[in-house]
């Protein structure tokens, strides 16, 4: 980002201070977008991987009469539960960084009279709630599969 030399910097800032804020703003926004992409990439991979693992467990239920097969299916199910919990935790951590970076963008916007993020009419946390519901549903599905393996 470059300074428009035809206008004076807002809030009594020097041109150099303005350049510093604009550079920080750009980096904070880039980092927030990066962390947001990581949240959805990790979540998507987990959902697909969980669906595949669940399919393996469901496919093995019909022949799970032997103890060895049950142990394998229970191990796969335990890995599925563990992955769901870990990915949920990781996405919460990444979301925290993303939100922190976007909040820094909003602070800089307030200093510079900008509204790129602060003027956005968006209900904060709504995606987080839906993600939490989906992760709980995956964990419950794994628990149901574990019960099916045990009782088969």
> Residue 65: which pLDDT band, with cuts at 50, 70 and 90?
low
Query: What is the per-residue burial (b if ≥16 Cβ within 10 Å, else e) of 18-50?
Result: beebbeebeebbebbeebbebbeebbeebeeeb
What's residue 5's pLDDT? 44
Count Cβ atoms below 10 Å from residue 116 Cβ, excluding itself: 13
**pLDDT tens across 79-133, in order?**
999 999 999 999 999 999 999 999 999 999 999 988 888 877 777 777 888 889 9
d(CA 71, CA 51): 20
Domain ranges of the chain: 12-151
> Do the beta carbons of residue 28 and residue 101 sit within 8 Å?
yes
- Average the pLDDT over 22-26 and give the result: 95
> Residue 8: which pLDDT band, with cuts at 50, 70 and 90?
low
d(CA 150, CA 16): 67
- Average the pLDDT over 122-150 and give the result: 89
> Do the beta carbons of residue 95 and residue 128 sit within 8 Å?
yes
> Residue 77: which pLDDT band, with cuts at 50, 70 and 90?
very high
**pLDDT tens across 38-60, in order?**
999 999 999 999 999 999 888 88
């Amino acid at each position: 980002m470059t300074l428009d030399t035809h206008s004076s910097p807002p809030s009594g800032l020097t041109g150099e201070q303005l350049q510093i804020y604009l550079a920080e703003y750009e980096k904070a926004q880039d980092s927030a977008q990066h962390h947001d992409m990581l949240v959805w990439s990790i979540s998507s991979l987990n959902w697909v991987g969980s669906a595949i693992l669940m399919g393996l467990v469901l496919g093995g239920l019909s022949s799970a009469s032997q103890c060895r097969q049950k142990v394998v299916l229970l191990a796969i199910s335990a890995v599925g539960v563990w992955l769901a919990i870990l990915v949920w935790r990781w996405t919460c951590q990444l979301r925290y960084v993303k939100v922190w970076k976007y909040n820094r963008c909003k602070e800089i916007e307030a200093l510079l009279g900008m509204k790129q993020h602060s003027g956005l009419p968006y209900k904060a946390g709504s995606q987080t709630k839906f993600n939490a519901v989906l992760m709980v549903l995956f964990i419950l599905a794994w628990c149901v599969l574990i019960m099916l393996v045990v009782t088969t």
